[in-house]
């Protein structure tokens, strides 16, 4: 496994001294994940922060009627978790599932808390991660309230330029908060 990619992702958020990099890499676990496998089910306790080294994931809510609402897709080079569940130690609302064979690195909440005590760079990393997750959540909420379905679809294409050909149409519709028939109509206008 190549640790330099996760270090690069962390380095975009803060400067990490070499000694801290070495210590962090000892806290990491690497794991292959098969297509369809879940990292987290709604109702489980979330105890880790994940990094997508290779692959594709979806983070989603499922209603009692079985309908799904996809919160986000996770592509290579991204950190992800059910942050609310991680912070509160309450059961997760989200499920996280691999959409293709993938490879992840992950570290536990306990390891993260220990890192916070070691060096200020980790506190900065934690703050920057929380800021990124908050901004993404705020943007998604605004898009759902203020943009039309067609505008959300165009934004999806811009944000995830190569994803449309990799996932089923019903999952794109679930992400856009529309039904697949509406998405077909929007795509037909092109």
pLDDT digits (tens, 9 = 90+) for 114-159: 999 999 999 999 999 999 999 999 999 999 999 999 999 999 999 9
From 119, 140, 161, the end of a domain falls on 140
Q: Enumerate residue ranges in the chain where pLDDT < 70.
A: 1-3, 190
**Upper half-sphere CA count for residue 74 (Cβ side, 13 Å):** 29
CA torsion, ordered 67, 173, 131, 63, to nearest 10 deg: -10
- Looking at the structure, do residues 53 and 71 belong to the same domain, yes or no? yes
Determine the Cα–Cα distance for residues 36 and 55; give it in Å rounded to an integer.
12
Longest dimension (CA), the chain: 55
Nearest by Cα to 183 from 70, 100, 85, 103:
70
Measured CA to CA, the distance from residue 177 to residue 146 in angstroms comes to 13
Q: What per-residue confidence (pLDDT) applies to 189?
A: 80
What pLDDT is stored for residue 1 in this prediction? 44
pLDDT at 64: 87
- Identify the domain containing residue 157 by its residue range: 147-190
Last residue of a domain, one of 140, 159, 182: 140
């Amino acid at each position: 496994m190549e640790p330099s990619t996760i270090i690069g992702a962390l380095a975009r958020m803060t400067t990490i001294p070499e000694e801290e990099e070495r210590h962090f890499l000892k806290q990491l676990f690497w794991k292959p994940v098969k297509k369809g496998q879940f990292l987290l089910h709604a109702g489980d306790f979330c105890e880790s922060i994940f990094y997508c080294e290779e692959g594709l994931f979806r983070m989603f809510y499922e209603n009692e009627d079985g309908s799904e609402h996809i919160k986000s897709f996770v592509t290579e080079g991204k950190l992800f978790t059910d942050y609310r569940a991680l912070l509160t130690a309450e059961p997760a609302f989200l499920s996280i599932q691999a959409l293709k064979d993938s490879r992840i690195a992950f570290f536990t909440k306990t390891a993260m808390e220990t890192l916070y005590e070691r060096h200020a760079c980790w506190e900065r990393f934690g703050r920057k991660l929380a800021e990124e997750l908050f901004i993404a959540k705020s943007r998604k909420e605004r898009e759902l309230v203020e943009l039309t379905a067609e505008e959300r679809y165009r934004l999806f294409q811009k944000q995830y330029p190569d994803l449309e050909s990799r996932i089923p149409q019903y999952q794109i519709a679930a992400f856009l908060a529309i039904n697949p028939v509406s998405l077909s109509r929007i795509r037909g206008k092109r």
